[in-house]
Amino acid sequence: MPRPDGARPDGARPDSGWEARRIRIRVDGEVVEDSLTDLGVSLLTVLRRNGRTAPKSACGRGECGACTVLLGDRVVMSCTVLAAAVTADVTTAAGLAADDLRESFADHVAFQCGFCTPGQIVRAEALLREGSCPTRAEVTRAMAGNVCRCTGYVQIIDAIMDTMEKRRVEGSDCVPQ
């Protein structure tokens, strides 16, 4: 039976000129395959429907940071990235080797409900990997794209600063200010 909106069973509209196509994206070291039925499908949609639940779906406009992932070495909000355009590896919070940062978040009670935590962890780890030694004010500015409605941010910044200090003691050249 035809769909009322005229779309084919694969979701593509007959008048769009778009044919469903398979894509392959490396996520957290594993290849994920998906069928795009529309050019406008976001990376977040592909991640979530393939069981990658660390990036959260919230604003859908790149304003809250809940869907933050690394695309190569770049921090992006996956709700604003077209899946069809992804050519770099994707790393979610689940794929990061950042146990010290996660532990610091727990030690500083830097999460309550946990909804924003994966995005916070990804952005914080990217900041720490830059090799610079940001001040507390710079960390606060860098984290501004990730919204948290529970903690008030002080604990999140404390956790990042603490992780930076511990990594410095373990061999990093950074001296936190």
Burial class (CB in 10 A: 0-12, 13-18, 19+), 26: middle
- Tens digit of pLDDT for each residue in 121-149? 999 999 999 878 899 999 999 999 899 98
* Spatial CB neighbours of 115, under 8 Å, sequence gap ≥ 6: 56, 58, 66
Of 97 and 45, which is predicted with more confidence?
Answer: 45
* Spatial CB neighbours of 67, under 8 Å, sequence gap ≥ 6: 44, 55, 56, 57, 58, 77, 78, 79, 119
Q: Among 109, 116, 118, 11, which Cα is nearest to 54's?
A: 118
What pLDDT, on the 0 to 100 scale, is given for residue 16? 58
DSSP state of 57: P
- Tens digit of pLDDT for each residue in 157-173? 999 999 999 998 877 66
Q: What is the pTM of this model?
A: 0.83
Of 47 and 38, which is predicted with more confidence?
Answer: 47
Would you say 73 and 63 are in contact if contact means Cβ atoms under 8 Å apart?
no
Element (H, E) at 4: none
Cβ count near 170 (within 10 Å) = 8
Is pLDDT of 8 > 90?
no
What pLDDT, on the 0 to 100 scale, is given for residue 15? 57
What pLDDT, on the 0 to 100 scale, is given for residue 81? 97
Q: What span, in angstroms and rounded, lies between the C-alpha atoms of 135 and 166?
A: 15
User: How long is the chain?
Assistant: 177
Give the residue ranges of DSSP H helices in 30-70. Answer: 43-49
What pLDDT, on the 0 to 100 scale, is given for residue 149? 87
What would the two tokens of residue 24 be? 């392959």
Q: What span, in angstroms and rounded, lies between the C-alpha atoms of 82 and 107?
A: 36
pLDDT band at 10 (very low <50, low <70, confident <90, very high): very low
- Tens digit of pLDDT for each residue in 101-118? 999 999 999 988 889 999
Angle between the N-to-C axes of helices 117-129 and 154-169, in degrees from 0 to 180, rounded to the nearest 10: 40
Is pLDDT of 69 > 50?
yes
